[in-house]
Structure 1
């Protein structure tokens, strides 16, 4: 099968679960004998603003790379300041020539960031099936997480939300800087200076529609319709969890669409049966891994630690190379390298994943389970589908949940079958074939 993927690019220029999944899946598809190409938003040319597609150097053996020069802007930090720039038109021939050159049987889209509507229109004209995997909510929302001012807005998604969530968005010039190739080399330095002390994310005053100009409101109305128009051209939705399915069902204008729910995997996950055991009477340390951010539930975790300050249980956080204000019984272990991940997981007694945003999946859960580490996860995490109910808590009740488990000396045992990337790749190929037959 000839497969064209669209994603955000490669590590280290782009990071996160989406990038890891897309690149691992492509590598495995090549191993399984498929012809694979990757289209991604690349460099910004400050001297020539015209959009073109250029074949770039091969980063994964056997995967042909196509880079979009001057793609649409990437709202990777959430919110959109210049809505008109996110729906710029390009000539259909830019994408038509690419598809005529590679001739894919199927197209697998991992994000709407950076890609023009014309790409989807050309695919539809050529009757090439488009599979979309729900890694985030960009397009349904200008913020990929749907999280703003302390809550998820997926049930209150109107023009007012789009206007308000974009108050703190980066301007176009700053977004373009993030697409400069060497930005990844200085990203950590910038973040270190930016977050030298512990500060909660800024909450913005909720403004009324009339507080924004009529032209600005109209630009956002057009942008909402622009993305809904793209979603209408998707021929098959691959939801990686029931949470992502429900959010999309609630927010897609077109309610009649084809889909399947299928959990995902990546190359760090060892497949097979895993046996998880938790004995709270033996837990003397509880761990958090993730961004030092509200939407990831860090503040809830620190509140949990504070409530145990008189106990003999200690807490630790991993995630970012920044100094933050923490309770005395919490150690900030900062970032760790992938080379050290086995050692990290070997020493974790209980991992708490307290995410507040409606996380479409959550690879951290699978990575922990792959190492047979006991985990307790927020009900907002998509990968909870794979866990027994006793391992899932409502994010509002993290402290009471853990205190109750400690007081009862809770014991949990369960077995879980995890899919390797090899197994998952075969599932995805079968999904492509079912989608093609069904449509």
Structure 2
């Protein structure tokens, strides 16, 4: 089978769960004998205005880099929506599709993608799969979360009418696409290490009900792209619920399949044993939407009643200087294994409706217990007694004494399910 993926690209230019998952999937498909090509939004060429493809091979994956893609809101929000729905000549996409002749196109994001690409794929009768890694497309913000406010639960205010004041100028977003950007980013981080401070800012409450015409047009633009999709792979029941809440009239085929990772320690049956909790950790970016500041508030209260427990945070370069909290910083797969041996319990208090959260699977695969917010898609694979809606309601004594066996799906099993998804498109 010939599979054409559209994803964000390769590390170090692109990072995060979407990037890791898409590359793992492509490499697995290549190892199984499929032909794979990745299209990704690449660099900006200010000397040539129109988009074009640059071909090559990287990390064993053949690619077609879309130079001069539409802007990527990776480091900020959208401020000028007209820049994100510009049209281009379909010929470059016609040439790509007719030369590559893919059996299926797997879309991992709409960022940077011209609508003409999907329109031409439909005209060529190529089936399209879309994986819901985030909410970009039904929201101008991938997490649908802004200034402490979750717009998924908000029936009154539309995030499309409220994001403009939080937007970044397009030129600032374009800098992220420059070939020298990863080097600049690394240099800045080396010279200036930021500090993660306790978030004491009040939640924004002055939201607007007035329609923002340009953003509503952008909303329609992405909807027209999503209408080209044949089947949606929801990576959790959480993402399925959110997409169907905001797009109730779509006639897609759908499949809900929890995702996996090549970083998992063990698959199959894994024992979560009864064990005294002497150490608790938060893992992830030190950001509000991930629940980092909620974790610090929890530590402040819980530590006063349990002074012998150790607390850790890990997953970010920002420094944390808080008494009783050990900051382990960024980690790789090797250091993760070393750190997780120090930890009895991980808490993931995500504040947004996180579509999955692979770190939960990775922690569980080591036999370490992890408690997740029931807003997280990972709640599909985490037992009910390890989920919470409010950290104040967590029964730590019960969790200490509880023992169970859970089943961790292997990457191979997951990727086999995705292959069956492709085959189902022809039936």
Q: Fold match, TM over 0.5?
A: yes
CA distance in 2, matches of 1:123, 1:155: 35
Q: Hey, what does 1:302 align to over in structure 2?
A: 296
CA distance in 2, matches of 1:30, 1:208: 48
CA distance in 1, matches of 2:47, 2:107: 29
CA distance in 2, matches of 1:209, 1:151: 15
Structure 1 pair 209–384 and aligned structure 2 pair: CA distance change class (3 A)? closer
Alignment partner of 1:177 out of 172, 175, 178: 175
Structure 1 pair 158–10 and aligned structure 2 pair: CA distance change class (3 A)? farther
Q: Does 1:341 align with 2:341?
A: no
CA distance in 2, matches of 1:245, 1:239: 6
Q: Hey, what does 1:405 align to over in structure 2?
A: 396
1:288-320 per-residue CA deviation (whole Å, 9 max, x = no partner) reads 111001100011111111012332212110122
Q: Hey, what does 1:284 align to over in structure 2?
A: 278
Deviating more after overlay: 309-318 vs 161-170: 161-170
Structure 1 pair 198–189 and aligned structure 2 pair: CA distance change class (3 A)? farther
Q: Hey, what does 2:134 align to over in structure 1?
A: 136
SS of equivalent to 1:130: strand
1:304-343 per-residue CA deviation (whole Å, 9 max, x = no partner) reads 11012332212110122222352x2211121123222211
Deviating more after overlay: 77-86 vs 90-99: 77-86
Structure 1 pair 234–157 and aligned structure 2 pair: CA distance change class (3 A)? farther
Find runs of 4+ consecutive structure 1 residues off by over 4 angstroms.
Answer: 157-160, 201-205
Structure 1 pair 145–157 and aligned structure 2 pair: CA distance change class (3 A)? farther
Structure 1 pair 364–201 and aligned structure 2 pair: CA distance change class (3 A)? farther
CA distance in 1, matches of 2:287, 2:129: 31
Q: Does 1:433 align with 2:423?
A: yes
Deviating more after overlay: 19-28 vs 175-184: 175-184
1:172-192 per-residue CA deviation (whole Å, 9 max, x = no partner) reads 111111111222223245457
CA distance in 1, matches of 2:106, 2:200: 34
Q: Is the 8 A contact 1:318 1:333 kept in 2?
A: yes
Q: Does 1:244 align with 2:242?
A: no
CA distance in 2, matches of 1:159, 1:83: 19
CA distance in 1, matches of 2:102, 2:347: 42
Q: Which runs of 5+ in 1 are unaligned?
A: none
- Displacement of 1:198 in angstroms is 1.2
Matches within 5 A, 1:123-162: 123-156=121-154, 160-162=158-160
SS of equivalent to 2:311: strand
Q: Is the 8 A contact 1:77 1:169 kept in 2?
A: no
Q: Is the 8 A contact 2:151 2:157 kept in 1?
A: no
Q: TM-score, normalised on structure 2?
A: 0.94
Aligned length, in residue pairs? 422
Q: Hey, what does 1:41 align to over in structure 2?
A: 41
Q: Is the 8 A contact 1:232 1:254 kept in 2?
A: no
CA distance in 1, matches of 2:393, 2:161: 36
1:142-189 per-residue CA deviation (whole Å, 9 max, x = no partner) reads 100011132321243788421322322221111111111222223245
Q: Hey, what does 1:200 align to over in structure 2?
A: 199
Q: TM-score, normalised on structure 1?
A: 0.91
Higher normalized helix content (fraction of residues):
1
- Displacement of 1:268 in angstroms is 1.1
CA distance in 2, matches of 1:201, 1:320: 20
Q: Does 1:106 align with 2:110?
A: no
Q: Which runs of 5+ in 2 are unaligned?
A: none
Structure 1 pair 386–207 and aligned structure 2 pair: CA distance change class (3 A)? closer
